[in-house]
Structure 1
Amino acid sequence: MSLVGREVERARIQGLLADARQERSGALALRGAAGIGKSVLLDHAVSIAEAEGGMRVVRGAGVESDSELAYGGLHQLLFPHLDRLDALPAPQARALRRAFGLSEGDEANRFLISAGTLSLLADLADGGPLLCVVDDLQWLDQGSVEALLFAARRFVADPIAMLFAVRETSMPFDIAGVEVMDLSGLGAPDAARLLGDHAPELVEPVRARVLAESGGNPLAIIELGSSRLAANDADGAGPAEQVGPLPVPRRVQETFRHQIAGLPDPTQRALVVAAADMAAPLTTILQVIESLGGTAGDLAPAERDRLVWIDDRITFRHPLVRAAAYQDAPLQRRIEVHRAYAEALRSDADADRRAWHLAAATTAPDEAVAAELEGAAERAWHRGGAMAMSAAYDRAGRLSPDRELKARRIARAGQAAFDAGKADRAARLAAEALSLTTDPGVRAAAIYTRGAVEYERTSPRADAELTIEAAALVCDTDPERAALTLYEAAHAARHGAAHDVLRRAADLMRGFTPPDDWPPVVAALLGWAELFAGRPELAVGPMRDLYTATRGGANHLTHRITAGFGGLMIADDDEVIAEAEDMLAEVRAGGALGWIPYTLNVLAVARLFRGEFADARACVAEGASVSDELGNTTESLAHRSVEVWLHAVAGDEARCRALAEEVLPRARVRHRVNAEIAAWGLGMLDLSARRFGEAFERLERVSQGPASRDLLIRAVPDLVEAAVRGGMPDRAEGPLAAFCHWAEHVDRPVATGLALRCRALLAGDGDADALYTEALRLHERHGGSYERARTQLVYGEWLRRRRRRTEARAHLGGGDRVRAPRRGALGRACTRRVGRLRRAGRRASARRSAHPADPAGTAGRTAGRHRSHEQGDRRAAVPQPTDRRPPPLQGVPETRRHRPRRADRPRRARCRRAGQVAAWWPTPVIGLPDAGNDDRCVAEKRPSNVQTAVAGRDARSHHPEHERGDNHDELLSEPPPRLRRGADDGGHGSRGAGGSDRRGRSVQHRAS
């Protein structure tokens, strides 16, 4: 077909090739109806690549009859370049050899096959730009499509262009990540030009009819215009009336049927032979033709009419020609052709093709044929072709005369369909298998598949319940299978926070003898059940025993992942990070890509708990990407839930909320633990934004939810802080008691340090200092900068409120080392307010050094050490002026004594008030805001410290906002009433009769 029009499409293809020459990779899928011109555009791209840029071209095409052969399409595309396999990483080269049937071994990893495809194409591009072209992508087997799209999505800076053509209604796979260009019919001028080029003799009425009927489809224009159908229409016979109502591809196929029907019968039979196996070489096709009584010359009329081209293979002019040749043939002729192929394909390399030809030639149950198909299914499994395996087992089941064999094969087909991502097909096959058998093993397999489908469709709880039912059927006959099944049930139950179901799985595990390497796993899962029941004293030992037993890489990854998640539940963060890093290196080296999302999830959460946010973010990005590629939606949600939390501590409210809105609805159904992690992140966001009430309500739901004794136990310190800052300390006592019970038994510095910080927040002055100090000591042992900085900040604020400003600066300065990103107003506020305490301290020191308190002697220096609330007493010893002016302050220069406070200096004035200086941070990365720095305090007219001391009462208790309970500064400046000691002692609240100056020394109030 000649290329007419298509200027936009040609320009895009030209740009794709130009980018490849500049080492900018790209991929484009041309999508449209049959005959719309996709193949012609591919031919155009190939001609440009070869003529203009000297690009290397690798080209393949899908064949409908090969769509059930695992990696058949990939083999066709890469077969000429298999000599380069030795240059690939060894695991990838082995996987490709197994996929192509060039070697034997264990099951080929389909993700290694995809990675090998990526590497092989990149190797081909080392010598210059590469164009990879695949026509009829919809007919490639699923494994080949996955591998090619995997590569297309990952090429970025390689001299590679990938160009696909796919039918618009035949795309049973996800093409996300590849640009799609939809092709429509030609415009009227281009359609008329094309018709004129191919059928210039048509009279105007017929010409107009052909253009109208074709809908701009180029193939329809050419075939309808050039066929006898159009000629008859010109004579007024009107056969086009019969095909007018048909869709365009059907109309075109009708023209091909008319054309084939006019050929000699031997030629029609030869076309059926060629159409029955498009991958067969010419020698095999001619052998089959001769076995049916024909000769090579039978193909000449079809070649003369341009229906086929013949070289070392037979290629049909268009897929619709092949469809017309095969589908219009009588059933008996098709059976004879397939049987002849089965006789011709006797080598081991052709075993799969032979099995499928036998199946196509069989119309009644036949165990011999079913057995051959089962062999093909197992070979597909070893090559990693899950969909090919499912198709072969399904057909084998249909041909099985024995009912139990049929059930077993159909159950295997259902399992393979689920592995291939076909959940609906898997559910249908599993239900059919259950209806056919009473065999416990087969029923267990089918129920297990149903459970896996329910995980995707409904909830992890439904999956766990079905999986336990499946395990119970094989506990006695297959303990290892039962143990693995129960292990998966326990994990599904944990994902759904179905702790009662997890307990059932653990109890069932305890009731039978598992294989030799399973007892530590069984004990650890029993420990999970105890932990979720609130008995950490019974859980920690078995969970740490599993970690010890699996350390070192000699155990199955299943056991090590279980140990990793368990370690996070009991605060073994450092150990989990070390083991997860080792495990990640192993799965990368071994090519076990399916384990990468799980390993990265463990590592991301451990680094999050340790405060290593940049590393956690890198783990999440890779884990989500790999999960999406593998179709692992559960792990993708897990990583994105952690990402919500990371956006919260980075202060990125917009991205945090947007991602939470995307993740939470699905995660609440699919993975409750990760849903609660995302909700925890939103609570942190509220806390950092000073929405203490909202933060507490959200964190309370998290800490009381079904996952509260899982990883979410570690959200309690944030809940306690929100409660204290929001004026609700009583509501934090219950969650804190549970947290302290957990921390006592996990016995790790990070857990104990957090418990001490929470107790300090709720404690009176007599206990808080020691609690904060011990918490910081434990944080130093743990080495986590995040929690240490937060503790330093709340401790520094506590010290500041008690006028111990020198000590406060040291701790607030330590918190300053862990900073949030400075974005927008929040970031500017962070930078502005952090330095205030320091600047205030420097100014005070400068004043003391430049203006001694008493130049004449030591009395002034002694008085100068008194705090601001003692100034009323000092004024009694100073001669009073007679003009009613306030008495002078000792140690303050005369030039500043009577300077009026300017209205345009509210912030600087506030900095001189020790009780009103705080470091305020926009995000919890470096601690939470001290509400004492609320800007609205500038305009408030509060009693001075002198007035408070003279009046003998706490003036703050009469502040209107304090009475409403929403002035967070007042609530945080001193403990709640029930925690104050000496509230009525001298009118100084928690300070009682004494206090300390800014250097921390004790100062007694004078009686005078």
Structure 2
Amino acid sequence: MMVGRSAERSRLVRLVADAKAGRSRSLVVRGEAGIGKTALLEYAAGVAGGMRILRVVGIESEAEIPFAALQLMLARDVERFDALPAPHAQALRAAFGTGSASGDRLMVGAATLTLLSELAGEGPLLCLFDDVQWFDRSSADALLFAVRRLHTDPVGAVFAVRDGERPFPAAGIDDIRLPRLGARDSAELLATVGPLPQPVADRVLEESGGNPLAIMELARSGTAALPSPVAPLAAVGRLEEHYQLQVRALPSRTRLALLLVAADHGCELWSFLAAAERLGLGADDLEPAEQMGLVRVTGEAVEFRHPLIRAAAYQEAPFARRLAAHRALADVLSDPRDADRRAWHAATAAGGTDDGVADELERAAERALARGAPAAASRALERAVQLSGDPAVQARRLVTAARAAYDAGLLDHAATLAAAVTAMTGPALAGADPAEGGAMSGNVAWVQAEAAWIRAQVAYERDSPARACELAIDAATPVLTADPARAISVLIEAVWCARDSADEGLLARCGEQLGRVRGGPPEVARALGGFVGLLSGRTEEAVPPMRDLLLAAGDGGMDATLEGLSAGFLGVLIGADDLALKVLDRQVATMRAQGALGWLPYAQEPLALAQLVTGRFRDAEANVAEALSLAAELGQDLQAIVLTAISCCLAAVRGEVDTARQQADLVLKHAGRHGMAAAQATWALALIDLMAGDPHAALDRLDEVCAGPPGRDVTVRAIADHVEAGVRAGDLDRARRHLPQLASWAGHTASPAAEALLLRCTALLDDSREAQGHFEASLAVDGCGLHDRARTRLAYGEWLRRHRRPTSARAQLSQALATFDQVGAYGWHARVRTELVALGGPVPPADTAAAEQLTAQELQVVRRAALGLSNREIAAQLFLSPRTVGHHLYKAYPKLGVSRRAELAQLDL
């Protein structure tokens, strides 16, 4: 019987009803032990009706076993794995220890999403998760990833989490915290136990403090036998004391048997009996505990009635007895399927250094990594370090633990471990000459480099790209000659961090380091050196090696690599837009296919920037929206800011001024951390000024954008806007300030986009009749993007109107308006319409393209459907459920004016 909790029960009833109606809902229920979380889960099960229920209870002793909770949840559905898309089936088999490596840790989450959607296709599904604080990290991550993306599936999920234990962050999911019962509800609950003498009833109510389990347990045991505290105790503390008293009352042999159960709760009955025999115990030694109702024995396992009983049984035992219990369990768990549990029992039983057990833990970590569970791998390696006797082995294992923690998204912990490695290996490097090797062994150099690289990667998110660059340079130094390929990999990140921070001093240091590398992939090193040169103003020497790397990547030999991503973005910087977009699009597609979710937000950034500057605004919007969602999931806070800067530019072009200003404010708060993102946000604000007819404000902003490294990066194209702002403000000297930079870029890159922009600028600065030829030449350039061409038509139309050629002006302005509509650049509508009104006659109505009516995710879905992909294939690529894909198509068809999937191929999407 449940007393009280009417509001909470109503929430659960709504959750179940919504799930049955195809509106997926999730809820986290938090509270102290005994507060009624499990009772609410039981209530949810009771109102579920005909829903299938998946129920999992977290087990403390399995909190370090990779995917232990997920295995419990999906054990009955293993045979369904083969019907899933191949990457998802592989990921789940790896999680269950029956397949090869799954790749990215969140790929298991994507696979869980697909499987839950499949199960829900047979009928509504209710997932009830209890004691989630004891879920292993890999299972928790997979489940959270899945439920956040269940939108139109008939699935409900409730997570019950106990306060005061391991944290369970669940951003984006509703949660409620259960308070203690009030006096009236407490008395009503107490009455359900049976009549008690008033003094006893008063004491139960006083000591329980409104905790339901405490009320029930204290009432049933007889409060008079309990010691009277001097001051009221917390209910949970009183419960622990209550269970400890019960355990102490048991015979010594029963307490030892209970300890054995507590050491590995949930283990099979046979393993308990085998371990008990090693301790000289038998099955009958559990009987007193059974009679007291502390445990129950089934045909498969021994289970505690409540987790706090297990805690009391374990904590009451002397330390030596605990070690003996774990040792006995390690001795009997000989099945290869129990290798991870055996390793942890052996490690818990180890009193000091034990290299054999450390080796077992390292093998357990390797298995965890192969299954996509880096958090479990990191924890196993940390314990292995404590048991290792060789300092060199300790350092290697510790840095591997740090890398696993980073891959698990535990950034702060990864940095702590990496710093410990640096402190540990520092003396080994003292006095060594990195160029000569000296006393520095290759292994120590690798460990030191890896530790510094991890710290650099964490610093990017937690501190700033500038700090990350400094640490990455430190990471490359020990391996410049010992491992040049690795040194270049590290320096790629160092160069990008120097670029992000817009720091010319750091760029110079990166250039020096690249010059010291001997060996490794030479075209990559030369291209990076060229990139540094470009951002430092040496365009002539920079372009050839950058183009060489782009051409090499264009041949398809660098898929899903840092080198490939760098090649694609360097192509954007030299204006080789078509090939750069092809390379970047392929990089992202390969990462999707490989399930490299952790890399996607970083890969989608250069792709979205390339789409932004070439006028593919809808594509950019879709990429940014997805990347922002993943960055939030992965805790990539600074990357989210970078992506917001791109979103800010898109909002500005689309005329969503309020959104653009809000996003710009957010980005500019971090201007000191990420100079390039700040420059992009400032560029967006300048575009808003230009659209609104305020060239003076635009000019001031664009002076800031076009100076230094930002003016030589993607935002080199903002120089054309700077020229326009200067001309419209009547300040031709300022308008020409950065033009040599644009001319140099156009001259050395031979980029069609650069040539067209330079010709537009030349026309704007020349108000004579010669300007017409420059405008016409700009429009004749083959390879210029639609948006840039429309901007040129707008400027040309304005010039023609001023020179009293209304017919030609109207033609150019009407074409500009149509193109702005086509690409979704609605922010320019007001200026075009103002010019058309001034010319007199009718103003063409807006002609929004069909694709413009779709949301970013609908557009992604529709495009893939138009290519012939099934809902399941689309879902696998976009990390959605197949049912959600179907929902997006259902919403998109009326907007597009189609009724069948086959008609999509005929549309311009």
TM-score, normalization by structure 1: 0.79
Q: Is the 8 A contact 1:202 1:225 kept in 2?
A: no
Give the partner amino acid of 2:53.
Answer: V
**1:790 equivalent in alignment to 2:800:** no
Deviation at 1:488?
A: 2.0
What's the counterpart of residue 18 of structure 1?
17
Contact in 1 for aligned 2:820/2:828 (Cα 8 Å): no
Who is 2:195 aligned against? 200
Matched residue, 2:86: 90
Give the match for residue 896 of structure 1: none
Once the two structures are superposed, what CA deviation does each residue of 1:289-333 show, in whole Å capped at 9, x if it has no partner?
222111112222222222223222222222111111111111111
Closer, same or farther in 2 for the Cα pair 1:319/1:295, shift >3 Å? Answer: same
2:263 aligns with 276
Question: Distance in 1 between the 2:125 and 2:136 partners?
Answer: 23
1:608 aligns with one of 604, 612, 620: 612
- Partner in structure 2 of residue 535 of structure 1: 538
User: How far is 1:184 from its partner?
Assistant: 0.8
The one-letter code sitting in structure 2 at the alignment partner of 1:416 is: A
3-state SS of the aligned residue for 2:737? helix
Map residues 821-970 of structure 1 onto 2, 5 A cutoff: 833=834, 835-837=836-838, 839-840=840-841
Corresponding position of 1:949: none
Query: Structure 1, residues 550-575: CA drift from partner, whole Å, max 9, x if none?
Result: 12433242221011110111112222
Shift of 1:525: 0.5
Q: 1:450 aligns with which of 445, 452, 455?
A: 455
Q: Distance in 2 between matches of 1:475 and 1:381?
A: 28
Q: 1:67-216 residue pairs with structure 2 within 5 A?
A: 67-103=63-99, 105-106=100-101, 108-170=103-165, 172-203=167-198, 205-216=199-210
How many residues get paired? 826
1:701 counterpart = 2:724: no
The whole-number CA distance in structure 2 between the counterparts of 1:624 and 1:654 is 19
Alignment partner of 1:224 is 2:218: yes
How do 1:292-691 and structure 2 match up within 5 A? Answer: 292-311=279-298, 312-437=300-425, 438=428, 439-515=444-520, 518-557=521-560, 558-666=562-670, 668-691=671-694
Q: Which has the higher contact order (CA 8 A, sep 6+)?
A: 2
* Separation of aligned partners in 1, 2:702 and 2:206: 66
C-alpha deviation, 1:480, in angstroms = 2.5
Q: Classify the secondary structure of the residue corresponding to 2:229.
A: helix
Using the TM superposition, give the Cα deviation of residue 821 of structure 1 relative to its aligned residue in structure 2, in angstroms. Answer: 11
Inter-partner Cα distance in structure 2 for 1:520 and 1:526: 10
SS at match of 1:180: strand
Deviation at 1:838, TM superposition (A): 5.1
For 1:295, give the aligned amino acid: G
Tell me, in whole angstroms, the C-alpha distance in 2 between the residues paired with 1:767 and 1:520: 44
Answer yes or no: is the 8 Å Cα contact 2:466–2:501 preserved in 1: yes
RMSD: 2.4
CA distance in structure 2 between the aligned counterparts of 1:601 and 1:25, rounded to whole angstroms: 30
Aligned counterpart, 2:882: none
Partner of 1:803: 804
Distance 1:623 1:331 in 2: 50
Give per-residue Cα distances to partners, 1:169-214, cap 9 Å, x unaligned.
44534301111121111222211111111252132x4423332332
- For 1:603-622, what per-residue CA distance to the aligned partner results, in whole angstroms no more than 9, with x for missing partners? 22222112222222112111
Report the CA distance between 1:251 and its aligned residue. Answer: 1.1
Partner Cα distance (2:631, 2:412) in 1: 21
Superposed displacement of residue 705, structure 1:
4.3
Residues 689, 384 of structure 1: CA spacing in aligned structure 2 closer, same or farther, 3 A cutoff? same
Distance (whole Å) between structure 2 residues aligned to residue 514 and residue 637 of structure 1: 36
Residues 457, 601 of structure 1: alpha-carbon distance in 2 compared, 3 angstrom cutoff: closer
> Structure 2-normalised TM-score?
0.87
CA deviations on 1:99-122 (whole Å, 9 max, x unpaired) are 22112x346421211111111111
The aligned amino acid for 1:247 is A
Q: Is the 8 A contact 2:691 2:831 kept in 1?
A: no
Distance 1:737 1:919 in 2: 38
Quick check: 1:834–1:920 contact (8 Å CA) kept in 2? no
Per the alignment, in what secondary structure is the counterpart of residue 462 of structure 1? Answer: helix
What do residues 259-306 of structure 1 show as CA deviations (whole Å, max 9, x unaligned)? 111112222111111111123112111221222111112222222222
Which residue of 1 is the match for residue 718 of structure 2? 715
CA distance in 1, matches of 2:740, 2:703: 14
Report the Cα distance in structure 1 between the residues aligned to 2:807 and 2:547, rounded to whole angstroms.
43
- Cα distance in 2 for partners of 1:422, 1:583 equals 26
Cα distance in 1 for residues equivalent to 2:262 and 2:342: 16
Change (3 A) 1:830 1:797: closer
Name the SS for the 2:350 alignment partner. Answer: coil
> Secondary structure of 2:128's partner?
strand
Q: Is contact 2:536–2:709 with CA below 8 Å preserved after alignment?
A: no
Query: What do residues 369-391 of structure 1 show as CA deviations (whole Å, max 9, x unaligned)?
Result: 22211221222222222221111
**Could you list the runs of 5+ residues in structure 1 that have no partner in the other structure?**
234-238, 843-917, 922-1008
Q: Secondary structure at the match of 2:649?
A: helix
Q: Which residue of 1 aligns with 2:431?
A: none
Q: CA distance change for structure 1 residues 150 and 265 in 2, over 3 Å: closer, same or farther?
A: same
Please give the secondary structure, in 1, of the residue aligned with 2:127: strand
Instruction: Tell me which amino acid in the other structure corresponds to 1:582.
Output: R
Deviates further, 331-340 or 378-387: 378-387
Partner of 1:816: helix, strand, or coil?
Answer: helix
1:365–1:401 CA contact under 8 A, matched in 2: yes
Q: Secondary structure at the match of 1:131?
A: strand
Match in the other structure for 2:814: 813
362-371 or 449-458, which moves further after superposition?
A: 449-458
**Per-residue deviation, residues 767-822 of structure 1 (Å, max 9, x unmatched):** 312211211212xx225221111111111111111112222111122122134699
The DSSP-based 3-state class of the residue aligned with 2:160 is strand
The answer for the alignment partner of 1:986 in structure 2 is none
From the superposition, tell whether residues 756 and 169 of structure 1 become closer, same or farther in structure 2 (CA, over 3 Å): farther
Separation in 2, partners of 1:345, 1:828? 73
Contact 1:772 1:791 in 2 (8 A): yes
Q: Which moved more, 1:789-798 or 1:447-456?
A: 447-456
User: Is the Cα–Cα contact under 8 Å of residues 503 and 526 in structure 1 kept in the other structure?
Assistant: no
What residue identity is the alignment partner of 1:30?
A: V
Contact in 2 for aligned 1:132/1:162 (Cα 8 Å): yes
Per-residue deviation, 1:398: 1.1
* Cα offset, 1:450, TM superposition: 2.3
Task: Note the C-alpha offset of 1:249.
Answer: 1.0
> 1:369 aligns to what SS in structure 2?
helix
Could you say which residue in structure 2 is the equivalent of 1:891? Answer: none
Distance 2:332 2:225 in 1: 43
Distance 1:291 1:199, change over 3 A: farther
Equivalent-residue separation in structure 2 for 1:241 and 1:197 (angstroms):
26
- AA aligned to 2:480 is C
CA 508–413 in structure 1, closer or farther in 2 if over 3 Å, else same: same
In structure 1, distance between residues paired with 2:456 and 2:827: 48
Where 1:484 maps in the other structure, the secondary structure is helix
Residue 828 of structure 1 and its aligned partner are, at CA, apart by 9.5
Tell me the secondary structure at the aligned position of residue 390 of structure 1: helix
Deviation at 1:258, TM superposition (A): 0.7
SS in 2 for 1:240: coil
